[in-house]
Structure 1
Amino acid sequence: MTTTQLQPMPSDWRRALAVVAHPDDLEYGCSAAIAAWTDEGREVAYVLATRGEAGIDTLAPEECGPLREREQRASAAVVGVSEVEFLDHRDGVVEYGTALRRDIAAAIRRHRPELVITLNHRDTWGGVAWNTPDHVAVGRATLDAAGDAGNRWIFRELVEQGLEPWDGVRWVAVAGSSTPTHAVDATAGMERAVRSLLEHRTYIEVLTDEDPETYVRGFLTQHAENTGKRFGGRPAVAFELFGR
């Protein structure tokens, strides 16, 4: 059986917006691509639906949320991202629906990206590895909001708030998909990707008994090398690309 090769991501764009549910969602695989893009002078901004406040069993949400926000901002800075916004939906119970679509459409109108990035919106990660409700809701709402952002008659209140329609989204790239179509060379960005994920140290130390750097480097390197088998043998970050 022939393995389908992944195609290079489009390069004719200037601005990207990454929309995910939680702190660390982007760092588990996307950061090497984002570092490469910011190296090229492209603008990338992050929007997170939650502050990840329900993610650490030993920390109350009131303490956990601000800590994870700080870690996320530090993590973004490592890969050249300075704009990080939080929509303040509740971690663990994000609901797909018009409220979430509206918030994401508003963010797209504010940032006016050509490329939107999100995380796997399907029920599983492929096979029987079940996805979380927050990822599903935010990923699906982001795909829908890319169209909502360009229609002035959907969420008319956004125009009243000064957010004019933006119909310039050309692609939505889904990370963590089990059916990727495109990839970005991770070679130049891998060290910063490792450092970026390590900024989520509080979360990682709860997640694993392994040394944090050993865990992070092993996880990211293995995924990049596995993806690279379909991308000319170069370590890579994979995306499923939806054109608009």
Structure 2
Amino acid sequence: MSDTEAADLAEMPGDWRRALAVVAHPDDLEYGCAAAVASWTDAGKEVVYLLVSRGEAGIDTLAPERCGPLREREQRASAAVVGVGTVEFLDHRDGVIEYGTALRRDIAAAIRRHRPELVITLNHREGWGDGPGAPRNTPDHVAVGRAVLDAAADAGNRWIFPELAEDGLDPWDGVRWVAVAASSTPTHAVDAGPGLARAVDSLLCHRAYIEALTDQDLEEYVRGFLTETTGRTAGRFGGRPAVSFELFPR
């Protein structure tokens, strides 16, 4: 099915109060779905960010011991722009995040601690799109996305990671959906218009990282990227620029 023939995207569910967004690196959410987050926090919903790494391997000209704290500061400032006050880091090593029980346990612990109804993550598939020519996804994104999908169930099962209950984190089986941003097979979307200006400002907070990526004027680069990606979804969402998600009900 071509893009022009693809089915319209449904509105994301709105009957929830708490969300937990779990991604591999600082900037993943800002490139992916900050406009949606801004709209949600405007509506009084609570969104918490969980970063699996500090992005310390992300800037070639900065050693990890300098890069990690810098990118953490940029992420906290970026989150604040879209109304997110709680940002946590797990300290898995950037670039070599491994899918497995240790990662699932850490994410399940965060889910039990924050008790979200909606969990958000980034594309967990091998590529950014369909077909053999699609750009390859990074191993970190694949590992974290897969672990999030599993941890949403792990968090509610008292017999998986029973040590979490011993630490005072009782099972939480209240996750109703996992929403995957930047999926090649989206099913739902959020109108990006109301939050787009703040999404631009939020991504601009990652100045050190973006300066290492492009020689283009930073605001021009960021605005152009987010306008293009949200506009690409408009044809399937009533002509409105949108942030798309693949929604997995539970």
Calculate the TM-score normalised by the size of structure 1: 0.99
Question: What residue in structure 1 maps to residue 188 of structure 2?
Answer: 182
Tell me by how many angstroms 1:68 deviates. Answer: 0.1
> What is the alpha-carbon distance in structure 2 between the residues aligned to residue 240 and residue 124 of structure 1?
15
Runs of 5+ in structure 1 lacking a partner?
none
Instruction: Measure how far apart 1:29 and its partner are.
Output: 2.3
Q: Provide the aligned length of Structure 1 versus Structure 2.
A: 244
Counterpart code for 1:241:
L
Aligned to 1:217: 223
Cα distance, 1:185 vs structure 2: 0.2
- What's 1:11 paired with? 14
The answer to whether structure 1 residue 70 and structure 2 residue 73 are counterparts is: yes
On the 8 A contact 2:22/2:52 being kept in 1, the answer is yes
**Cα distance in structure 2, aligned partners of 1:190 and 1:203:** 20
Gapped regions of structure 2 (runs ≥ 5): none
- Does residue 200 of structure 1 match 2:206? yes
8 A Cα contact 2:192 2:243, kept in partner: yes
Residue identity matched to 2:101? T
**1:118-163, CA deviations, whole angstroms, 9 ceiling, x for partnerless residues?**
0000000114200000000000000000000000000010000000
Aligned: 1:123 with 2:126? yes
Query: 2:239 corresponds to which residue?
Result: 233
- In the alignment, which of 89, 94, 100 is matched to residue 91 of structure 1? 94
Give the secondary-structure state (helix, strand or coil) at the position aligned to 1:28. helix
State the identity as a percent. 78
Within 5 Å, which residues of 2 pair with 1:43-54?
43-54=46-57
Structure 1 stretches (4+) deviating beyond 4 angstroms?
none
1:116-195 correspondence to structure 2 within 5 Å: 116-126=119-129, 127=131, 128-195=134-201
Q: Distance in 2 between matches of 1:4 and 1:159?
A: 43
| Structure 2 SS opposite 1:27 | helix
Query: Paired residue for 2:39?
Result: 36
**Cα deviation per residue 1:2-48 (whole Å; 9 max; x = unaligned)?**
33100000011000000000000000020000000000000000000
Deviation of 1:229 after TM superposition, in Å, equals 1.1
Asked if residue 110 in structure 1 is aligned to residue 117 in structure 2, the reply is: no
TM-score in terms of structure 2 length: 0.97
